Amino acid sequence: YTATSAQVNESDRLFKMATDFVKERKYSDAVSIFRELAKNDEHDAQYNLAFLISAGKGITKNYSEALFWAFLSQLGKIEKAEELTEDLIDIVPEKVLKDVREKVLEHLLVRFDNRDRAVLTELGDFYLLVLEEQDFENAYMWYNVASALGVENSSDIRDKVEKELEPDTIIKMQEASRKRYEDFIEETVIESEKTTKTMEQDYES
């Protein structure tokens, strides 16, 4: 799925509008726009939303919700988000932190089910950046899928992560990544087969 240029322009326009609202201190208006953009996985909007929620501007303070959006924007390579997640991790209790991490993973997996290629490296990064202890096995699996689908820079990271794994683990995770890869392309294949069939039927009739 790729956004059309009209959608991109629209989201840019909304983002600017929300930023202007912040400058005018119309925080609740800014929050509602950033929230819509954040749900569409616009990482800079996720960061701004996390920041406003953590500051309690335009909406009641909620550290666990702020952390959820901050993690997602960090996975989207928004550098400022790293500092915000660190601050929030220090504030929230361990159990809340665990719940938020699980929610982040759920959110990413929904994007995987929706065939969002951009999420593949974010899933890999999740296992290296968001978890308390790095999980090289699962990170390797996702980078391997991303690499197979031609996602930029993913093969370099995959090869670095591979060096952290034992040979038998590598084989096991390669099998797991093949399954994920097939899940990912299966839908796309089914779609294109449908199109071919319809074309053949049109041709025959």
pLDDT in tens, 97-138: 999 999 999 999 999 999 999 999 999 999 999 999 999 999
- Which whole number is the average pLDDT over 18-28? 98
Judged by phi (left if over 0) then psi (alpha if -120 to 50, else beta), residue 61 lies in: beta
- Which whole number is the average pLDDT over 158-183? 97
**Measuring CA to CA, how many Å separate 8 from each of 41, 46, 50, 130, 202?**
12, 16, 22, 28, 36
Is the predicted pLDDT of residue 188 greater than 70, yes or no? no
Average pLDDT, the chain: 93
Q: Using the structure block, give the residue that is written with the tokens 């980078």.
A: 143
| Cα–Cα distance for residue pair 58/25, rounded to 1 Å | 9
Q: What is the pLDDT of residue 4?
A: 76
Q: Which amino acid is at 122?
A: E
**Which tokens is 190 given?**
């089914």
**Measuring CA to CA, how many Å separate 11 from each of 5, 79, 83, 175?**
10, 21, 25, 39
* Alpha helices, DSSP H, located in the chain: 5-23, 27-39, 43-55, 63-75, 79-91, 94-113, 119-125, 136-148, 154-162, 167-204
Q: Using the structure block, give the residue that is written with the tokens 């909620």.
A: 62
Q: What is the pLDDT of residue 196?
A: 62
The single-letter DSSP state of residue 130 is I
